[in-house]
Structure 1
Amino acid sequence: MKTKFNELLEFPCVLNFKVMGLAVENLPDLVIEVLQQDTPGDYVPKIKPSSKGNYHSISIAVRVTSQQHIEKLYKELSAIEEVRYVL
């Protein structure tokens, strides 16, 4: 990834991730499971269903420590089979 997070952010900081995926019951649990591996914490995801109910958008605040940490989380969250986008 060619990002400039290290130029734009001062680490450590809290970054909001938005994960969009299929509307399956365990999607929030899958996202939190990935986050707990690298960044243990008490996460309170905000879940918003799409207008047709086929997808869910999960917003979650994560404390990140570096550009590499952000990129790793993007890759790991994107690797979840039910996830379609990570912003």
Structure 2
Amino acid sequence: MSDTPPQADTLFEFPCAFPIKIMGLADNALAQTVLEVVLSHAPDFDGATMEMRASSGGKYVSLTCTINATSRPQLDALYQELSSHPLVKVVL
């Protein structure tokens, strides 16, 4: 019988502050869409803390949202939903 905890497959100790970087097309709807998705998975996220940075050419934008992550399944679901959005190109 193993003495390893059930969450041993992760490098994180939950809950923890977890930054998520989302890169996508510079579209007015991107920030609002990302905020809605993040809030659906992390209701305590403060949208005022979202950081936005435009690419040098202005075609793309990166958003950083630091959430209070509570579990690996929460992060997996959030990454999946963000990655599947048509305006989002990369989620790190």
Is TM-score (shorter-chain normalized) higher than 0.5? Answer: yes
Q: Based on CA coordinates, which of the two structures has the bigger radius of gyration?
A: 2
Could you give the per-residue CA deviations for residues 4-38 of structure 1, whole angstroms, max 9, x where no partner exists? Answer: 98531100111000000000012111001001112
Q: TM-score, normalised by structure 1?
A: 0.88
Correspondence 1:52 to 2:57:
yes
- Between the aligned residues of both structures, percent identity stands at 37
Could you give the per-residue CA deviations for residues 41-85 of structure 1, whole angstroms, max 9, x where no partner exists? Answer: 322211100110000000110111111111111001111110000
1:61 matched to which residue of 2? 66
Between the two proteins, the alignment pairs up a number of residues equal to 84
* Aligned-CA RMSD value: 1.7
Q: TM-score, normalised by structure 2?
A: 0.83
Structure 1 residues 5, 37: closer, same or farther in 2, change over 3 A? farther
Gaps of 5+ in 1: none
Structure 1 residues 5, 36: closer, same or farther in 2, change over 3 A? farther
